[in-house]
Structure 1
Amino acid sequence: MSPATPDPAGKPRTAGRRPGGPDTRGEILAAARESFAGKGFAGTSLRAVAREAGVDAALVHHYFGGKDELFIEALALPIDPRQVAAQILAGPPDELGRRIVTVFLGVWESPDGQQRMKALLRSVVSSEDVARLMREGITKMIIHPVAETLELPDAELRVSLVATHLIGMALSRYLIELEPIASADVQTLINRMAPTIQHYLTAP
């Protein structure tokens, strides 16, 4: 049995999980990044993260709410993927492709978003751990919800093809800076890409 130790008021308290402190949130994030990298999204639990950080699981819920929120903050994503899915799905099906391109470019074109997305994309292409984590997290929070609305037997394949198109465009425009795509205005890109993205999603 752990011995009781006095608190500052002289009363005994039982040793155990420590309460929250100034660095608790950061320590939870550090433990989460390690767990996500080693075990992936599906293999990470809030209880295990709390144990690794040396805190009560209730503190993880207090700071982050749930595993999705912890994932978003651990990877320093510039936008909540669930909000992305909600924006994409809020409108008529025949404009789904245009909404996807518009939302995607909106994230990349913001100064903070572009900086963080560049760092994330570089990590994805250079680290299998990060790539696996992104696959699992984004599949759960974006690909599955969008695919479910299509009601087609190959819906996830279609949405995955959309993802390959968007990632290729991001690499070309923001990392490789391939011209003329790198200097094209956003509206032109939306107009050119939207019909192709729509075709992926709804063509027979």
Structure 2
Amino acid sequence: MAERGPGPAAKSTAASPARRRGRPSRTETAAAPATRDRILQAAREEFSERGYEKTSVRSIAKAAGVDSALVHHYFGTKEQVFEAAIEVAFAPALGAPDALTEGPPEGVGERLTRFALGVWENPTTRTPLLAIVRSAVNNETAAAVFRRLVATQMLRRIAGQLDLPDAELRAELAAAQLVGAMMLRYVIKVEPLASADVEQLVARLAPVVQGHLTSP
């Protein structure tokens, strides 16, 4: 009796070359923007819930419903995924330099203080910022990414708006004043600062921020 050859399904399988690990299929390539967005969303959620240390590329991939190699293909290392994820989450804070030019110089301290408090008071923008700060406090790699992002995209832009020789130091001191207040109010939740009225905080913080930015 003649031996039966492989069926059509088997031939089809044998004839199809195995897809190289880490390289997206044609379908994945066509849906690349949606896939990248899904990975970034999953990464933000994972970093927010687990922190930098306990989050892995594998856990991000699982949350996004993709293979780990696909995360590496689009973003590279975990550090690079973290930077891409927080850059999107940090975007609302990047409008801070604009507050310097939206009115007279004598009101810049109040405008910048109101802007910072507005970003942190909004639950939609506060949640990812909390994840970023907590990761940066607990991990040096995450802290380095955060410093690089803050320095290049926010502080240098603020300094560029100040026509003073020590503009960078002034911008950093103003940021330190606001970041310290935000840390105590929203992250550590020290009372009575944590429950103080926003207008009261503006009244206390704005003159100090103004002094850092414009005083002789």
Q: How many residues align structurally?
A: 160
Displacement of 1:51? 11
Q: Using the alignment, how far apart are the partners of 1:118 and 1:86 within structure 2? A: 23
SS in 2 for 1:179: coil
Amino acid at match of 1:53: H
Give the one of 189, 193, 196 matched to 1:181. Answer: 193
Displacement of 1:83? 2.6
Which consecutive unaligned segments of at least 5 residues does structure 1 have?
A: 1-14, 38-49, 56-69
The 5-angstrom pairing of residues 102-141 of structure 1 reads: 102-141=114-153
Contact 1:78 1:107 in 2 (8 A): no
Over 3 Å counting, the alpha-carbon distance change for 1:154 and 1:126 in structure 2 is: same
Amino acid at match of 1:116: P
Displacement of 1:167? 1.5
Over 3 Å counting, the alpha-carbon distance change for 1:136 and 1:188 in structure 2 is: same
1:199 corresponds to 2:190? no
1:14-34 CA-partner distances (Å, limit 9, x unpaired) = x9875232663148749x99x
Q: Using the alignment, how far apart are the partners of 2:130 and 2:156 within structure 1? A: 24
Amino acid at match of 1:160: E
Which consecutive unaligned segments of at least 5 residues does structure 2 have?
A: 1-19, 45-51, 53-69, 76-80
TM-score norm. by structure 1 comes to 0.66
CA RMSD of aligned residues (A): 3.2
Q: Using the alignment, how far apart are the partners of 2:112 and 2:74 within structure 1? A: 41
Give the one of 68, 73, 97 matched to 1:53. Answer: 73
Give the one of 30, 40, 51 matched to 1:20. Answer: 30
SS in 1 for 2:193: coil
Which one has the largest radius of gyration?
A: 2
Higher share of residues assigned helix: 2
Task: Name 1:145's counterpart in structure 2.
Answer: 157
Q: Using the alignment, how far apart are the partners of 1:78 and 1:129 within structure 2? A: 17
Displacement of 1:54? 5.9
TM-score norm. by structure 2 comes to 0.63
Contact 1:78 1:112 in 2 (8 A): no
Q: Using the alignment, how far apart are the partners of 2:144 and 2:189 within structure 1? A: 26
Percent identical:
36
Displacement of 1:182? 1.0
State the 4+ residue runs in structure 1 displaced beyond 3 angstroms.
Answer: 15-18, 26-30, 70-73, 78-82
SS in 2 for 1:80: helix
Q: Using the alignment, how far apart are the partners of 2:106 and 2:82 within structure 1? A: 32
Over 3 Å counting, the alpha-carbon distance change for 1:52 and 1:151 in structure 2 is: same
SS in 1 for 2:189: coil
